[in-house]
A and B are shown apart, each in its own frame.
Chain A
Amino acid sequence: MPVQGRVVISELYCKGCELCVGACPQEVLRLSTERITSKGYHPAELAGEGCTGCGICAVVCPEAAITVYRQVIRRSTAAVGA
């Protein structure tokens, strides 16, 4: 089972440029159609399962808006995969 991760995208910084959407190898990022930031952009968000916490979105993000978390693989697969 692949490692699971998640990303938190700050609405203070995100300008909806879509660079992370284009770079995500798992294609789990999209621009939110419902939310709008104080600057007037639709921010990126995590859509659905499959984020591995690879951090490529954070590498391409021009605003340093993305915080990436990843599971630590120390536990047994049963506990992690629950």
Chain B
Amino acid sequence: MVVEQIVPEEIVYQRPRSLVECATHYCPGCTHGVAHRIIAEVIDEMGLREHTIGVASVGCSVFAYNYFDFDWVQAPHGRAPAMATGVKRVLPDRMVITYQGDGDMASIGMTEVVHAAARGENITVFFINNANYGMTGGQMAPTTLPGQKTTSSPHGRDVELAGYPIRASELLATLEGAAYVVRRSLHDPKNIRLAKKAVRTALEVQRQGLGFSMVEMLSICPTNWGMSPNQALQWLAEKMIPYYPVGDYRVSPSVAQLKV
């Protein structure tokens, strides 16, 4: 041990400055934490902590304003992109991000995000897709996979009755106003690093005023899926990624020239 102390060490990784020093309320293993962390890391790296305003959604991520060390406002359920539009238009020099789950953005808030993208609002949406309503107890969401068992679809999602899941990235990618729409996954180190790069690109798109950007992140919900966190990662890779392929769905020509 004495030898170790005299050997010079460098810090390879430490908690980002943009995260408040408090424990989160998320369940053990929830990848909301990973999404928080990579967003905080990117904001630190870009030096934007003093210039960012977040818009929190309703759902498990409602307490995002307690965990990030910059300014936040709390939007009514699903209305984060509308509120972000207002914030950005009043304070165009600030970076405005929304952090929304699938119940918030793909269900009650689908109108707001579609129209914000169609208008090409210069905001960034982080969309966390975990295939159920996490906070209320794991009910079926618009993103629940066909056949997936939830507390409100105990025999599996019946597509005859409940319809098919919404692929939000593909949907928004058809809109002219959207500049950068991608889907990433948070199930292994490689994909987490790719997700971080996408977060960086999305914020760069906003900084340069190129239009609407969204990063969808596939996430796990071990508590409501009834699995251990490591099993849930496996389930995400095996079941969710075939239905929600990871990829770039819209990269406008001006964004393609960005060097990040």
Contacts and interface: CB of A to CB of B under 8 A. Distances in A.
Interface of A: 4-6, 10, 12-13, 15-19, 22-23, 39, 41, 53-56, 58-72, 74-75, 79-80, 82
Contacts of B40: 64
B236 to A, nearest CB: 12
Contacts of B229: 17-19
B85 interface: no
B8 A23 contact: no
A18 B29 contact: yes
A36 B235 CA distance: 29
B222 to A, nearest CB: 8
Nearest to A58: B13
The 5 A-B residue pairs with the shortest CB-CB distance, nearest first, are A62-B33, A17-B29, A15-B28, A17-B28, A58-B13
A70 B230 contact: no
Given A13-B23, A62-B37, A6 B11 contact: no
A65 B4 CA distance: 22
A69 B9 contact: yes
Contacts of B33: 61-64
Most B C-beta atoms less than 10 A away, residue of A6, A19, A55: A19
B228 A72 contact: no
Given A15-B29, A64-B16, A39 B11 contact: no
Contacts of A72: 8-10
Main secondary structure of the interface of A (DSSP, over half): loop
A63 B37 CA distance: 8
Contacts, number: 100
Main secondary structure of the interface of B (DSSP, over half): mixed
Contacts of A13: 15, 23-24
B7 interface: yes
Given A54-B12, A61-B34, 18 more contacts: A5-B12, A6-B9, A19-B229, A19-B230, A39-B23, A60-B34, A62-B29, A62-B30, A62-B31, A62-B32, A62-B34, A63-B24, A64-B16, A64-B37, A68-B13, A69-B12, A70-B12, A82-B3
Contact of A69 (B11, B27, B28): B11
Given A62-B29, A62-B32, A75 B15 contact: no
A81 B244 CA distance: 48
